[in-house]
Amino acid sequence: GENVEQHPSTLSVQEGDSAVIKCTYSDSASNYFPWYKQELGKGPQLIIDIRSNVGEKKDQRIAVTLNKTAKHFSLHITETQPEDSAVYFCAASRDSNYQLIWGAGTKLIIKP
Amino acid sequence: GAVVSQHPSRVICKSGTSVKIECRSLDFQATTMFWYRQFPKQSLMLMATSNEGSKATYEQGVEKDKFLINHASLTLSTLTVTSAHPEDSSFYICSAESLGGAGTQYFGPGTRLLVL
């Protein structure tokens, strides 16, 4: 079945540096790719998403890139801050009425 | 905008009792709501998808008679864990997809269930 692979499982970066998390999906019909941030004991929070008609999207320190040919997409966080520490999940779906296929998550640790 | 609430945030119950969890979309109407279960340090596992006014669609391996889902309105879905047992202890999270939302899911804060 469809799956999404996410790497790395844990990422530790110095405060102020950039962090990159990568995901690869298997379903070529996927056209919607959200990223969620989950803090301990809380529900996931949508931080950015991208659809297959664009290759990159930015929102302040966060950006997502999509390569449909290679079937992978990445989350980029610049100028990392302690509050960026959390677990980040990527997901893929075929759009409305289809379930999200989730990555396994990346624990991001920002070292002060 | 796009706020989803869940109640209760945590619940402790005795084995054999039933527990109801409510999921509400506060500022939008949700055509579809999803119920997930998450174990520690793991990703989210979809349990079921519910559309307002129709029966929920359960994922393989999820017992529909044990996890009763009701989606009576465009802003409320409930999950009832019937005859709960310790192995049902988990973090339950709902999400809602807005009318015309093109697949974007907004998540509730989750409900921590502990069955003794």
Lowest mean pLDDT among A96-100, A103-107, B15-19, B112-116: A96-100
Residues A74/A20, Cβ–Cβ less than 8 Å: yes
Confidence of residue A99 (pLDDT cuts 50, 70, 90): confident
Per-residue pLDDT, averaged over B20-44, amounts to: 93
3-state secondary structure A62-103: EEEEEECCCCEEEEEECCCCHHHCEEEEEEEECCCCCCCEEC
CA atoms within 13 A on the CB side of A83: 1
pLDDT for A53 equals: 81
pLDDT for A83 equals: 96
pLDDT for A96 equals: 62
pLDDT for B13 equals: 96
Distance from CA of B73 to the nearest CA of A (A): 17
Test the A interface: residue of B104, B112, B113 with most A CBs within 10 Å: B104
